[in-house]
Structure 1
Amino acid sequence: MKTRITLIIAALFMAANFGFAQQDEECMLNLSMMNDYVKSKKFDEAYEPWMKVRNKCPKFNAAIYQYGEKILVHKIKKSSGAEKVAFIEDYMILLEKGREHYESRYSLGEVLEKQGIMMYDNKKELGKSDMDLYNIFDRGYKEDLENFKSTKGLYVYFTKTVDIFKAGNFELQKVFDKYDDVNEQLENLNGKYAKSLNELIKKEEGGVILAKKQARYKKYYQDKLVANEKIAGSLDTYIGDLANCENLIPLFKKDFPTYNNDATWLKRAVSRMYNKECTDDPLYIELVKAYDKTAPSADTKYFVSTILRKQGKNKEADGYIKQSYELQTNPFKKARLAKKIANDFKKRGSYGSARTYYREALKLNPSDGTPHLQIAAMYAKSANNCGNSNFNKRAVFWYAAQEALKAGKVDPNLKGAANQAANSYRANAPSKAEIFTEGNGGTTITIGCWIGGSVKVPSL
């Protein structure tokens, strides 16, 4: 028995670099029992040995806290009333003790966001107010932003800001500030996830088969990017009409004299007015000029280009676009900028220029397959203008389908959308009967106009 216990503890130590503060046989026995029960998902059975080792040897092993979280979460889900509240309160204490004894494993930001989410999920039982929830997440944001990574936590943090404003306890500016804070954190996190994901994708493209741990990380990064993008969209929905031009313009007019040299305030004001399409107001031009004067950057050059575009000065605007792109050095942000520039060109019908920037985005962030879908859509819209016969024009839809499918190959989360788009394009391509009539099955058609390239006609 002693040998078995020693082996289990050793295995825990080797697998997770756990440490011991004291060698206690009873604690080793209870830790072993807890370990077996938790791994078998028998959380109720694990509770008693866990409590014993936790109370007698709180510094014995980090598994006391990591497995303890799972045990208490199970207890909370299965209980109600006063018993449930007691388990929740114990969960809060457990996290604090985990940080006390294993600080390297329990960062302040992680502890606060876990406590905040537990409070949010059980707000009614705990009698917590929106301000209580806001305060715990606000502390995590202010004191340990680096480790405030929870997608749900960031969402709750912002939505509680809106709710408190609606209750009359926050100024509208506070809502806009927090919206920007949360979006910037999501963007920073996405930049890190994308960088790590692209490194793994590069290995795969080089013929390396990912180890199980690397494959798990790859999925984790992909899932986090999708979750964060969804939350970013949810923030826009939640802020709703609060962020319309009718509210933004008078607010920014009032504050502009105070913040006309504040680069952060100017950046946020310009971005908000641009994203909410308030660019026709003269204030937008004033804000952009002040921003570019105060802190010239890739962002300011881009926004100057939007003003010039509005004035019909497209050549000059394109020059600023080029400056903007060249000034940006962060690969993830540069990829997002490339997509933004490409979207602008696409809206104007400049498909060739749009594709150039979409392809730049793909080079910088190959794990993002959305540019492939955008390029495919442009191919499909150009079909009627690219070909010297009805058959050849519709053959462009095969080419569009090929491009759409690439999105699903680089990003599994886009596989459904990619397949749907490809099927839609194929439905507009020549039928088998038309291929038979034309007699060109298996031949290659050269596509003209801005698209270029070629596509092979399916063989019958």
Structure 2
Amino acid sequence: MKTKFLILLTGFFLSVSLANAQASVDCNREVSLYAQSAKIKDYKTAKPIYDKLIKNCPDASLAIYQYGERMFKQLAKDASDDENQEQYAKALIENYKLRLKHFPNETKVGEAYGSIGEAMYDFELGTTEKRLAMFEKAWKEDEKNFSDPRALYIYFNTVIELQDDGKKDLNEVFELYDAFTKKIEEQEIQRAAEAEPLIKKQEEGTTLNSSETRTLKNAEIYLTNFSKIKSGINQLLGERADCENLVPLYNKDFEAKKGDVEWLKRAARRLSAKDCTEDPLFFSLVEALHAAEPSAKSALYLGQLAAKEGKSSKALEYFNQSAELETDPIDKARVYMKIAGSYKNSGSFSNARNYYRKALAIQPSLGIAYLQIASMYASSANNCAETTFDKRAVYWLAADYADRAGRVDPSLKSTAAQTAESYRGRAPQKSDIFSSGKQGQSISFSCWIGESVKVPNIQ
């Protein structure tokens, strides 16, 4: 009884002590002083105020932690020695944790733990396993808000390091790769959807307002970053995902796993993505999968096999079945791209464009679809107008589509720019425009293209 009383009494005095401490500190005033110093990056002045706020007013303002993040990142970066850098890096991590504790409703869990993992990686804190634990926590608890491109890359790189050390199974690497690729593509779709109507406005000669300009700029920055990260992740995966590794990996487990539908799906998907479809294993997987659970995926794989055998009409039949059955938007777009490619290869350009547009309607970041349409337009230049000038004008339209490919998919920027330049080189030049007297006029193409292009005004 006496012990219980002493515990209660100690708790009472501690709470009174804390209340008195807070009463002796004007939290609002200290936050204001702290923010003033932090805004101008006067961290020598800001740091002691930060310490006072953390001790006495940890829940006074979210700004404590927002400015704290910037402050400790800079202090760690500018540290004169390893000891000071480690001290500031640990303070940065503690800042993320305190924000989560005191402002849980205004802090994204996935973003916070992803940032902790990044800090541990950047400043070489903890073991590789401990860094991985932070990224896994971010991914498992709040995948939606774990979307920073660099954090995703470091997470994947960490798993690769552990796999190289024999501490992670290759299947785990593939599963994470699939999940990351899908997430990045979803982010690309979102940003490309924001950019596409604004790009079209610019192409039509409409000046964007400041808000639209900012939206387009941000979307293009994100698309560039995600393109780089996707490329980086593919490089990290490297030879691990080559047919020489995949086929033996799945061959080894096929007999034991051929009744496991999920395993069959994963194996067939990876072999299909890497075009490892000539090995007999792929046929065995598809046959087992279609027998166990006929689906969009098994129809897709059967289409690929038919295409490999030169049975184009049968391949199209399977691809169309796959598109009808597919419920995942990104996978449906991929099927549409395959259908479009089949039609393009057979010279059915109108049907091909129809399916490229279907794919773009789902996934606006598919710059390759715009390049393919541009290519078909260029191929049809001699068939879509009467005069030589109008025939060559088709290349302006092809160049516009090539430009758009680079805008929505930064990984194609260089290729798209070179392609557009090549097309414009074949289009009428200034002297041709002057001689034609058509500057500023619209030229319509009556063939399957069915679009028009405006002749540039010459200065």
**Which interval holds the TM-score relative to the shorter structure?**
0.7 to 0.9
1:165 aligns with 2:163: yes
In structure 2, the partner of 1:49 is 49
**In 2, are the aligned partners of 1:440 and 1:457 still within 8 Å (CA)?**
no
Using the TM superposition, give the Cα deviation of residue 308 of structure 1 relative to its aligned residue in structure 2, in angstroms. 1.9
Instruction: Please list every run of at least 4 consecutive aligned residues from structure 1 whose deviation after the TM superposition is greater than 6 angstroms.
Output: 195-205, 408-417
Pair 1:221–1:293, CA change in 2 (3 A): farther
Unaligned runs of 5+ in 2: 1-21
In structure 1, the partner of 2:14 is none
In structure 2, the partner of 1:259 is 257
Output aligned runs, 1:79-90, within 5 Å. 79=79, 80-90=81-91
| Matching residue within 151, 154, 165 for 1:153 | 151
Q: Which has the higher contact order (CA 8 A, sep 6+)?
A: 2
For residues 212-245 of structure 1, the C-alpha deviation after alignment (integer angstroms, 9 at most, x for no partner) is 5x87666545433432232122222222122111
Pair 1:174–1:419, CA change in 2 (3 A): closer
In structure 1, the partner of 2:66 is 66
Equivalent residue letter for 1:326: E
In structure 1, the partner of 2:123 is 122
Query: What value does the CA root-mean-square deviation take over the aligned residues?
Result: 3.8
Pair 1:192–1:388, CA change in 2 (3 A): closer
Pair 1:240–1:383, CA change in 2 (3 A): same
**In 1, are the aligned partners of 2:139 and 2:146 still within 8 Å (CA)?**
yes
In structure 1, the partner of 2:319 is 321
Using the TM superposition, give the Cα deviation of residue 76 of structure 1 relative to its aligned residue in structure 2, in angstroms. 0.9
Report the secondary structure of 1:280's partner residue: coil
In structure 2, the partner of 1:5 is none
Using the TM superposition, give the Cα deviation of residue 115 of structure 1 relative to its aligned residue in structure 2, in angstroms. 1.0
Farther off after superposition, 79-88 or 397-406: 397-406
Pair 1:435–1:144, CA change in 2 (3 A): closer
Report the secondary structure of 1:41's partner residue: coil
Pair 1:406–1:187, CA change in 2 (3 A): closer
Report the secondary structure of 1:277's partner residue: coil
Pair 1:23–1:423, CA change in 2 (3 A): farther
Equivalent residue letter for 2:49: P
Report the secondary structure of 2:229's partner residue: helix
In structure 2, the partner of 1:92 is 93
Farther off after superposition, 450-459 or 195-204: 195-204
In structure 2, the partner of 1:112 is 113
Farther off after superposition, 326-335 or 65-74: 326-335
In structure 2, the partner of 1:246 is 244
Q: How many residues align?
A: 433
Equivalent residue letter for 1:99: L
**In 2, are the aligned partners of 1:197 and 1:367 still within 8 Å (CA)?**
no
| Matching residue within 283, 293, 302 for 1:285 | 283
For residues 107-126 of structure 1, the C-alpha deviation after alignment (integer angstroms, 9 at most, x for no partner) is 43222211111111112xx3
For residues 161-213 of structure 1, the C-alpha deviation after alignment (integer angstroms, 9 at most, x for no partner) is 222222333333333233223223333444555667779999999x9x8895x
Pair 1:459–1:226, CA change in 2 (3 A): closer
Report the secondary structure of 2:58's partner residue: coil
CA distance in 2, matches of 1:333, 1:203: 29
Farther off after superposition, 399-408 or 193-202: 193-202
In structure 1, the partner of 2:8 is none
Farther off after superposition, 128-137 or 329-338: 329-338
**In 2, are the aligned partners of 1:249 and 1:283 still within 8 Å (CA)?**
yes
CA distance in 2, matches of 1:59, 1:304: 60
Report the secondary structure of 1:144's partner residue: helix
Pair 1:102–1:146, CA change in 2 (3 A): same
Farther off after superposition, 355-364 or 238-247: 355-364
In structure 2, the partner of 1:29 is 29
Counting aligned pairs with the same residue, the percent is 38
**In 2, are the aligned partners of 1:358 and 1:375 still within 8 Å (CA)?**
yes
Pair 1:103–1:459, CA change in 2 (3 A): closer
CA distance in 2, matches of 1:57, 1:433: 73
In structure 1, the partner of 2:398 is 400
Unaligned runs of 5+ in 1: 1-21
Output aligned runs, 1:218-233, within 5 Å. 219-233=217-231
TM-score using structure 2 length: 0.79
In structure 1, the partner of 2:12 is none
In structure 2, the partner of 1:15 is none
1:181 aligns with 2:179: yes
